Amino acid sequence: MKLPRKITFVSLLFLFLLFSNGQYAVSIAIWISTAMLLFAVRQLKRWQGFLFAFVMLGASYYIGFDVVPFLPTSASIMIAAIFSVFATLPYFIDALFSKKRNSFLSTLIFPTAAVFIEYVYHQFNLYGTWGHLAYTQQSQHVLLQSISVFGLGYITFLITWFASVCNWVYEQRNEWKIIRKGVLIYSLILGITLLYGGYRVQFQKSDAKTIRVASISALDSLNVHLNLPGLVNKETAKEVKMTTRKNTTRLNQNLFERSIKEAKAGAEIVFWAEGSGVILKEDETQLYKRASAVALAQNIYLGIAVAVIDPTNEKFLENKFVLFDKNGQIVIDYWKGISVPGAEAPISNNKVTGIQKTETEYGTIAGVICFDLDFPNYLKGAKGSDILLAPSNDWKDIDPIHTDMARYRAIEQGFNFIRQTNHGLSVGTDYTGEAISEMDHFTDANKVLITQIPTKGVTTIYSKIGDSFILFCLLLLIVSSIILRKRKTENKSYHSF
């Protein structure tokens, strides 16, 4: 390939990579860029290919995920570099079988390695599944139904196997009979996947009773600005506490009034977005008494998401979601399970409660908070829920990426789902991930989402078998590697299916 063509190819590759993941993702781009990058790496020596893939993937990741304003540039670069090392490893493993590519079996090396390594990376990633290839397909509703069976890794497998098959077809382009069989196998797997997805979307829709749920975000005009130094300073504590209590009372009163309004409009469940309510630790009990009285008087389930502030503790934030039943009793007392590293974790004093569920006349209800949803393993604790309530709080840079990611948990575990989001996109979905309702914090003046949500979830295959597909890919990688290694080095005239 001549230099001008190489420059054009690399430029196009990087362009597709920029649109392959993160804030600029377009679903088709990851399929094209992965195939192109695999092709490019195969044209280079092993160490050159690794370095090339590392630079391309790292640079595109940094640009695509430059969405965290509280992280310094150096930290963002480090995260991109670590991601790139893991993301490049499947290309390196594929290069180890450069003389074994005549066999269609060789097409399984790259995708199985990619699935397993990606899974390992996200087990140790402090930011959960951010950057997972499956999230690039959020607009492909039919395709995504497959994660109700095999989880996120199956989408990665389809994307990376497609890249491997495309390159195999190119390399065997003069052997049409062999090519035809390989293309047929991949097409059959993809076709079955889409048929299943279409069937689930069209014929497994919920016919259960729906109920009206109102979810509420705090008004921006009532935001409480905390003066923590003033609260702990003996000379200013009294005055600052009076001002803080005045502001939190005004904020919480508004939330209660709006909750009562929605109850009178027919809502049977009302809950608030993450941290919408703010209260000093010493006033927490009084807040719960008020919430209990509202739930009892209005005959509703009321979920208050509240930031409890304890200025005497270095880790002053307790991030809670407390659900009251129609009798005014607390049935869920949940503390956020996973705090955001770098911003929230250093100030959070959350107790480990695990995901709590409660049996109601509307089915089994569970609750989690925002960042918890980025961890599929953690959300396995919501297994068996019919409705999941998820108070959340984002910022504009990750809107709507973060909400789109959260929908995947509904498909995986089979619950109906509402994510009420301060400073982001709020959404209600059924257990297929299909949006029932949406509300954009930045354009909706009322900050209220109304959802007619089904009261019955489903039991998914994934909720039963978990990440068995990851183990299957690891086994397939090992078996394929052994078989290919045992074969003699292939010459140009040797072809094996």
**What separation, in Å, do the N-terminal and C-terminal C-alpha atoms of the chain show?**
29
Q: What DSSP character marks residue 145?
A: T
DSSP string, 408-452: HHHHHHT-EEEEEEETSEEEEE-TT--EEEEEETTT-SS-EEEEE
Q: How far apart are CA 122 and CA 409, in angstroms?
A: 15
Tell me the average pLDDT across 224-251. Answer: 93
Distance of CA 85 to the CA centre of its chain: 21
* Cis preceding-peptide flag for 4 (omega within 30 of 0): no
Q: How far apart are CA 408 and CA 388, in angstroms?
A: 13
For residue 496, the model assigns a pLDDT of: 58
Residue with tokens 């989402």: 449
> What's the mean per-residue pLDDT of the chain?
95
Q: How far apart are CA 414 and CA 462, in angstroms?
A: 9
Q: Give the other-Cβ count within 10 Å of 92's Cβ.
A: 18
Residue 284 reports pLDDT greater than 70: yes
Q: How far apart are CA 335 and CA 371, in angstroms?
A: 12
* Continuous segment of H or E residues that includes residue 265: none
Q: Residues 10-65: pLDDT tens digits?
A: 999 999 999 999 999 999 999 999 999 999 999 999 999 999 999 999 999 999 99
Percent of the chain with pLDDT over 70: 98
Q: Which pTM value belongs to this model?
A: 0.94
Residue 1 reports pLDDT greater than 80: no
